[in-house]
Amino acid sequence: MALLSKREIIEFRPIGDGLNAFRDEFVSTCRSSGLPCSVQSVHELDHDGQMTVSNRELALQSLCIWLILALQALPASRALPPVVGAHKNLFNDLSRLCSSINSDEFNLERLLPLSIAAFNREFDEVIWDKLYAAAAETTPPHPRPPPYVEQMPYSCSTSMISNSHERRDDIDPVLKKELGSIYTDVPGFEEAFFGGVKDLEKAGTAVFHRFIEGDDPLYRETAGWRDWPQSAEEKQVLDCKKSFAGSRRSKRSNA
């Protein structure tokens, strides 16, 4: 099936009464300010002294959002091509445009031609063309890649540590920041992570008994691990563990 052209989509999916809610809101805004029902009346509210600049901007902003939401609700918005090629359809562009209007940094005068066309019930094609023009003005250009220097990472993580020669005092803060909050004595932890290991408790008990057996055991209830370093620095702890492994191998060979 051949794809419909933009003109055919507009013809087969007319606006009809789809913008009546916007027109009603527009008339209500003008009447509440005692002004004629025209777009220029809202545009010049601050010059008449009947509304502050801030309130005038809010009134225009509200009307523009009403208009964009009304256009977005029309079936044609989901069938018309996008302004930005990466989007699926015009519906996505209208979502972005509505967010821009609500940001308070949008130049509302860009939407005045569209608002005038919608209020004056101009032809559907004219209204959609003016919408495309307004949306195109608000589409940011494709960002250029930053210079090589700006692409260098500012954060530090353990993945950036390429060897084991870093000082423990330097690595520990990085690791702690990377891990975030650390909790101890979490209920159900052992069951959740080790519950599926068959006979784990039995095997662990057997191994531990090997450490406490003999005349000179590696572990005593009253003293803790034998030759455990006082400062618990990394190198000393690793050397101590190596000595434990050597002691176990020596006992096995003598058994």
What's the pLDDT band for 128 if we cut at 50, 70, 90?
Answer: very high
Q: What pTM was computed for the model?
A: 0.51
pLDDT at 168 over 70: no
pLDDT at 105 over 70: yes
**Which residue ranges make up each domain of the chain?**
6-138, 190-254
pLDDT of residue 208: 78
Please give the Cα distance from 79 to 6 (Å, whole number): 9
Q: What count of residues does the chain have?
A: 255
pLDDT of residue 169: 64
195-249: pLDDT as tens digits: 778 888 888 788 778 778 877 787 887 777 777 877 767 788 788 778 777 666 6
pLDDT of residue 54: 60
More confident residue, 255 or 197: 197
pLDDT of residue 19: 92
pLDDT at 141 over 60: no
User: Are 156 and 174 spatial neighbours (Cβ–Cβ below 8 Å)?
Assistant: yes
Angle between helix 112-119 and helix 53-72 axes, rounded to 10 deg: 60
3-state secondary structure of 160: helix
pLDDT of residue 36: 75
Q: What letter represents residue 125's amino acid? A: E
Q: Which of the 8 DSSP states describes residue 2? A: P
Q: What letter represents residue 23's amino acid? A: R
**Long-range contacts formed by 105-110: CB under 8 A, 24+ apart:** 106/61, 106/138, 108/57, 108/60, 108/61, 108/64, 109/43, 110/134, 110/137, 110/138
What's the pLDDT band for 17 if we cut at 50, 70, 90?
Answer: very high
Quick one: which of 139, 130, 84, 136 has its CA closest to 111?
Answer: 130
More confident residue, 4 or 253: 4
More confident residue, 240 or 124: 124
